[in-house]
Amino acid sequence: MRAALPIILNQAATLALGLVALKLINRFVPPDVYGAYVLFLTLTQVGTLLTHSGLSNHATRYWQRESHRAGTYVRFLASASARVLLPLTLLLLAITLALAALRQELIWVWIFPFLLVSNAALALNLVGTGALNAEQSFWKVFWLTQLGNAGRTFLPILLALGTHMNFVALSAGFTLQGVLILAGLAALFIWASKTPRPEAELEQRWIRELKDYGRPYALLGAGAWLLQFADRWVVEGFYGEEPAGQFALAASLGIIIPTMVMPALMQWVFPGIFRRADSAKSRADWIELAKSCDRITAAFLLISIAGLLALWAVSPWLVGWLISEKYVPALAMLMPAGFAALTSQVNQFYYLLLQGQHDSASMVKVMLVVSGVKTLGSVVAASVSLTALMGWLIVSVAVTGWLGRWMIRRQALAVAS
């Protein structure tokens, strides 16, 4: 119960601030401006999903093992994170230059510094919260998460209202949130600066592990980015910024339920699943683990879908006090956007099987296939009509869920034979 309290409070506070953010967006941000701003937001996840993904997974997977020298391990994580800032910088520069050329909008070059700071902060935050979750410091996770949520809710709107309501001002405000997160991380981990640096032999071992175990996560992150964000670019590319803003608002509302359910369940189960994976001796042990993943995935889907249906049922009563008239078209996209969020998360508990076997290469294969099927389906459906795209987003949950489960169980149980 003591562990459950901060987890529950974290989700409740996240919900409350999410509703406040929705209200502020509805009140002050026009749909076309929001559509452009959301494209920026998708690019702030490049660091967490690509360049730093292996590092965050290393921290999550091995924090318990290294807990007896946690300070030294924190110093390694900090230095390793600094080393991948150069690839992150080059990748973001290439993305912004490509967007400026393809879209003939030079503004994408000017927001490069905002993207760099935001990506670095969010990537470090993922590493830090992964370590804190692994040691079950749920109150620290709570305060760090809500610091970021508060900054993301208020700072972009305040800066835009004080200057110009455009996506550049909103992006600059989001970047200030990154500064807040970096300050929070420094406060939580400053104690590690008093511990010794890792010895050369130990550091080299961790680096080898990071390369062997973590390197495939860059490709895994590319697939995850497609699952989470490609639909926003597809809507904007086929139908323009205003429909993209409407869809983004629907996604912001529809993602609340799955995003509350997933972290709570993951915080609850993943340390135990990794412990069971470390002690698994036979195929029967892995079958039992797979059944546990089935059960937790079923619980995630049932709770999330029930929540989405309830939200859809009450959505007409949200108009006025939460949803403004200019965003009413977004309510027709609520269920497809919510199911799109489920699609991006439906296989997360099954991936724990492959993580438990240190098999990140198989995770890459599954993610690339699943994300490729989902993205291709979105592009094809969008080329037909917006209605066809919305229908595909609902169907894609079953398609990607079944495909991912089949591939993961097949690989994990074959290895355990």
Contacts for 82 with CB less than 8 Å, ≥ 6 apart: none
What gap in Å lies between CA 259 and CA 237, rounded to an integer? 26
- Cβ–Cβ < 8 Å for 89, 116: yes
**pLDDT value of residue 273:** 73
Is residue 347 within 8 Å of 401, Cβ to Cβ?
yes
**What's the pLDDT at 244?**
94
Per-residue burial over 203-240, b = 16 or more CB atoms within 10 Å of its CB, e = otherwise: beebbeebeebbebbbbbbbbbbbbbbbbbbbbbebbe
| Sequence ranges of the domains in the chain | 1-215, 217-417
Query: How high is the pLDDT of residue 278?
Result: 67
- Identify the three-state secondary structure at position 50: helix
Which tokens belong to 178? 């990154």
Please give the pLDDT value at position 208.
Answer: 84
**CA gap 31, 329 in Å, rounded:** 10
Give the Å distances, CA to CA, from 40 to 92, 94, 379: 12, 15, 20
pLDDT recorded at residue 67: 81
Query: E strand or H helix at 129, and its extent?
Result: helix 112-134
CA–CA dist 403, 350 (Å, integer): 11
The Cα–Cα gap between 116 and 179 comes to 12
What distances in angstroms separate CA 84 from CA 19, 66, 204, one per listed residue? 35, 22, 16
Amino acid at site 271: P
What is the per-residue pLDDT for 270?
Answer: 65
Phi, psi torsion values for 192, nearest 5 degrees: -70, -20
Contact 286, 359 (CB under 8 A): no
Instruction: Say how far apart CA 45 and CA 64 lie, in whole Å.
Output: 26
Distance, CA of 153 to CA of 375 (rounded, Å): 29
To the nearest 10°, the Cα dihedral for 151, 157, 163, 169?
Answer: 70
Closest alpha carbon to 123 in 202, 43, 227, 234: 43
d(CA 56, CA 6) in angstroms, rounded, equals 22
Contact 214, 185 (CB under 8 A): no
In order along the chain (417 residues), what is the average pLDDT of each group of 10 residues? 76 86 92 93 93 84 82 89 91 94 90 96 92 84 93 95 93 96 93 87 84 74 90 94 94 85 74 69 76 87 92 91 91 93 87 76 88 96 96 94 90 72
Q: In this predicted structure, what is the pLDDT of residue 416?
A: 60
Nearest-angstrom CA–CA distance, 157 and 357:
44
